[in-house]
């Protein structure tokens, strides 16, 4: 099934001067996840800056792009959120092969697996072959989260607590900017210092690496836990592209097949190979 943008009222708008950047970086592949459009925590302005400066042949939207959980509670959709959707669609129109792999927060899209929406194919998972021939299993990862699998009600409670931590983040970030200090995430710090959270992340990564190995893949790319990471686990390359709520990170592949995590700041770009 192929749905055109005009049927959804999503017609590409003309480029404006802000969309034209002289210092574009071109990659073979970009993976993005956990943008959480529809929430106050979404770092939409930073993501827009990233999208303006980075192009790719392949683009994977690895789940939780839109936060349906939050939008069901209260509607929040800013002009910047619209511009992100429009920018992604422009990339599709320019020839970027784009895939959307729904996560738990945008699980409503799982009712449309196999549907092509304006050039974006909705799939549950897929195999990406890198330029150097490695096969990477790509999926969101929530199906390997024990809380989501066996106690979804607890995930909703955790989502509310996480939203509170992000609100505290906003106030803290404002104070740090006024003092000339760099961005620092309180919620990320707490998540990675609490023992149970650290154990959860480790178990999640191990489970996903085991699944990739079971399927005969060389590696796996996922999102879900908002923790950008790239490491080898039992002979399998585990990659998590992070999020655009705390870390503002993406996974990228160059034209030789090298993979890197990018942490994007509008005035300061750092990479971790």
Residue 64 maps to a domain: yes
Q: What CATH number is attached to the domain comprising 99?
A: 3.60.21.10
Residues 6+ apart with CB under 8 A from 70: 36, 38, 39, 76, 105, 159, 163
State residue 179's pLDDT score: 73
12: in domain: no
| Beta carbons of 63 and 140 less than 8 angstroms apart | yes
Domain interval for residue 123:
26-146+200-272
pLDDT, mean of residues 245-268: 91
Q: Does residue 6 lie in a domain region?
A: no
In a domain, 182, yes or no: no
**CA nearest 210: which of 119, 114, 144, 158?**
144
The residues that bridge with 31 in the sheet, in sequence order, are: 60, 251
Residue 157 lies in a domain: no
Mean pLDDT of 188-198: 54
- At 119-136, the pLDDT tens digits run 999 999 999 999 999 999
End-to-end CA distance of the chain: 39
Residue 145 — very low, low, confident or very high, per pLDDT cuts 50/70/90?
confident
Smallest CA-to-CA distance from 137 within 189, 101, 113, 187 is with 101
CA-to-CA distance for 253 and 155, rounded, in angstroms? 32
pLDDT surpassing 70 at residue 146: no
Q: How far apart are CA 92 and CA 71, in angstroms?
A: 26
**Cβ-based neighbours of 148, under 8 Å, separated by 6 or more:** 104, 142, 155
Domain-located, residue 129: yes
Residue 233 domain-assigned (yes or no): yes
Q: Is residue 256 assigned to a domain? A: yes
The total domain count for the chain is 1
């Amino acid at each position: 099934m192929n749905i055109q943008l005009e049927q959804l009222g999503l017609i590409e708008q003309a480029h404006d001067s802000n969309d034209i950047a002289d210092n574009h970086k071109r990659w073979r592949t970009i993976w993005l996840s956990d943008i959480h459009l529809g929430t106050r925590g979404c770092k939409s302005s930073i993501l827009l800056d990233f999208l303006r400066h980075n192009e790719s042949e392949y683009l994977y939207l690895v789940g939780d792009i839109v936060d349906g959980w939050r939008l069901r509670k209260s509607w929040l959709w800013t002009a910047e959120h619209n511009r992100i959707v429009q920018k992604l669609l422009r990339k599709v129109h320019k020839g970027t092969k784009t895939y959307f792999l729904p996560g738990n927060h945008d699980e409503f899209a799982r009712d449309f697996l196999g549907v092509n929406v304006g050039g974006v194919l909705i799939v549950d998972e897929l195999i990406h072959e890198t330029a150097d021939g490695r096969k990477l299993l790509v999926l969101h990862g929530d199906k390997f989260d024990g809380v989501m699998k066996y106690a979804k009600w607890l995930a909703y409670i955790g989502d509310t607590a996480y939203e509170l931590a992000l609100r505290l983040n906003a106030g803290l970030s404002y104070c740090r900017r006024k003092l000339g200090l760099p961005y620092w995430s309180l919620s990320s710090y707490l998540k990675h210092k609490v023992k149970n959270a650290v154990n959860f992340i480790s178990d999640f990564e191990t489970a996903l690496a085991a699944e990739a190995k079971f399927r005969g893949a060389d590696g796996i790319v996922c999102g879900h836990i908002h923790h950008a990471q790239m490491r080898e686990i039992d002979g399998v390359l585990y990659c998590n592209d992070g999020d655009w709520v705390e870390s503002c990170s993406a996974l990228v592949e160059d034209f030789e097949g090298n993979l890197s995590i990018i942490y994007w700041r509008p005035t300061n770009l750092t990479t971790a190979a």
